Amino acid sequence: MKTRITELFGIKYPIILSGMSWISVPKMVAAVSNAGGLGILATGPYTPAQTRQAIKEIRSLTDKPFGANATLLIPAALKNAEVLLEEKVPVINFALGKGDWIVKASHAYGGKVVATVVNARHAKRAQEYGVDAVISTGYEAAAHGEYVTSLVLIPSLADAVSIPIIAAGGFADGRGLAAALALGAEGIAMGTRFMTTKESPLHDNYKRLSIEKDVTDTMFSTRFDGILCRVLKTSAAEKAFKKGLDLPAAFINSQDIARQMEMPYLKLFLGTLLSGWKNARSMAFLANGFKAFQQATEDGNTKTGILPVGQITGLIHDEPTVAEVIERIIAQAKVQQQKLYDNFS
């Protein structure tokens, strides 16, 4: 299968692993890249040293193209992004921040840069930065999106920019890939589908729940980590939604995060306070969300853990290997392509 995305990244199939914290680890990245897609490392939970080590591990597991992300809203992300540039990562995906400096530095060594966007305004700005493609995050997606569905968002971006679009949010099979291409995208990014695979480090408790849940079993709110975020509907998620911002918990959780990130807490705390109440509130929410997401993903804690998932969790019925997922999607997409051809012939 050939699209502008496969040509841009030098990959076999236009299928990308979304960079999910605690999920998109080196072995997952390599599994997707080795199967013909593009794996993207999630650097959010990593220190710069851990990011550098993860990149080396990926390179020991695959000789295929791969990428890594930097969520610029996270305090440690800037240093992690610098590591990605120093290590000359082939593809860098940035989100929630201004990434023009990443584009310039990456292009200097021949790398590619992808910006994650949720509307045409962001896509146009990213194109002005010089990014090579954008990831279009629709309402259906896990974690952070906005209120426009992929069915509408993708063609709106295709009308607004000339660079390739990677569709995220609502994609789990070949029908989705065929639909994305028909809407104007050049490939798809998947998180939730890859989350429930043999290679995925997601705890078995949540793999089981992801298979059991229906397409209606998600929640979408700013009350999980301060930004619009879609998560699996569980008793823990419903409790967190009702409670809202827990400041005492945020104080404790932010200290834990600072230790994990090897950041001086006092400097982080004072900097957050001085940035204004709105930003401080967002950081407090983010600290609580970070902790809850980690508890779900790594520990399988169903009492306090919260797992970001997309609505396509209701389309997941098994736990195949990464390679099986990709081959299945490509085969299904070809069947859909023939059906469309037959309909219009």
pLDDT value at position 116? 97
What is the set of domains in the chain, with CATH numbers?
4-202+316-344 (3.20.20.70), 214-299 (no CATH)
Please give the radius of gyration of the chain, using alpha carbons only, rounded to the nearest integer: 19
Q: Could you tell me the maximum CA-CA distance found in the chain, to the nearest angstrom?
A: 67
Q: Which residues in the chain show pLDDT less than 70?
A: 75, 245-285
pLDDT value at position 264? 58
pLDDT value at position 274? 47
> How far is it, in rounded angstroms, from Cα 142 to Cα 226?
15
pLDDT value at position 96? 84
Contact 192, 171 (CB under 8 A): no
Query: The whole model's pTM is what?
Result: 0.90
pLDDT value at position 76? 74
Helix/strand/coil for 88: coil
Contact 329, 17 (CB under 8 A): no
Residues listed for the chain: 345
> How far is it, in rounded angstroms, from Cα 24 to Cα 1?
24
Q: Chain-centre distance of CA 198, in angstroms?
A: 19
pLDDT value at position 270? 47
